[in-house]
Amino acid sequence: MNKKTRNIIIIAAIVIVVVAIGGYQFMKSYMGNKVAIEQVIPAATSTESSATASGASATGEQLNGDWKINTDASKVYFSVTTSQETVNFVDNKVTGNWNINVDDPTKMVAEGQIDMSAIDSGTAQRDEHVKGADFFDVAKFPQATFKATSFEGLPTTWTEGATNDFTMKGTLTVKGIAKDVTVAGKAVYKGGQILLSGTTTVTFEDFGMKNPHSVVLSTQNDIGVQLELTLDK
């Protein structure tokens, strides 16, 4: 091998390395997580149960009735875990209500709607892809909805500032496909508002979507759904 050929090979190798590094950095920027989940229930509050809290008891008059989601303070998150990290999507266009009856939970009803066009991961190109026909198909299905069918575990007496753990079962509808889900929830009555946090898990297949697995990035089938809601009476 002459010197000229060797130099060409070295230069080509350098170019390949530079392109590979640049491609990796671009992929990391495009695919990386840019959304932090903001919890409506502070960490210190979430560990304080009604049994340990020192606040005053909230009466049925304060709790019972129709509560509406505060659209300025409520968000829903979708999370997908890849071989690199967990990527969060946030949607801040959430509406709905929860009719509370602490004396008879069987009479409680709740429903919510999410404007799917507001999904945001911090990367415009990725968001447009997710909103497209391969995934949420927002042009055809602009809303996702949830309707609760039962509540379990809520006490008849709440203590202001204390966390009440409960289970909420219901139907989540995305892309016109209904799926029964169970939400692990926490509710806090504080300052005349109800703070509600809830989590559940669905899969791509549940709503007719394919796992976006590729040769450079593997993706888990589960999609985490997290509600972070503030409700006003």
Per-residue pLDDT at 167: 98
| pLDDT tens digits, one per residue of 156-200 | 999 999 999 999 999 999 999 999 999 999 999 999 999 999 999
**H helix runs in the chain, sequence order:** 3-31, 43-46, 60-63, 124-131
Least confident of 79-83, 142-146, 173-177, 202-206: 79-83
Report residue 202's pLDDT band, with 50, 70 and 90 as the boundaries: very high
pLDDT at position 213 over 90: no
Per-residue pLDDT at 211:
85
Instruction: Write down the pLDDT at residue 28.
Output: 44
pLDDT for res 55: 77
Question: How far from chain centre, in Å, is Cα 77?
Answer: 2
pTM for this entry: 0.83
CA distance 171 to 191: 30
Three-state SS at 17: helix
Residue 170 CB neighbour total at 10 angstroms: 22
2 band by pLDDT with thresholds 50, 70 and 90: low
Position 145 scores a pLDDT of 98
- What's the confidence (pLDDT) of residue 197? 98
pLDDT tops 70 at residue 14: no
Per-residue pLDDT for 216 more than 60?
A: no
Does pLDDT of 212 surpass 90?
A: no
- State pLDDT tens for residues 55-91: 799 988 899 999 999 999 999 999 999 888 899 999 9
Indicate the DSSP class of residue 121. Answer: -
| String of DSSP letters for 118-161 | G-B-S-HHHHHHHHSTTTT-TTT--EEEEEEEEEES--SSEETT
For the chain, percent of residues with pLDDT exceeding 70: 80
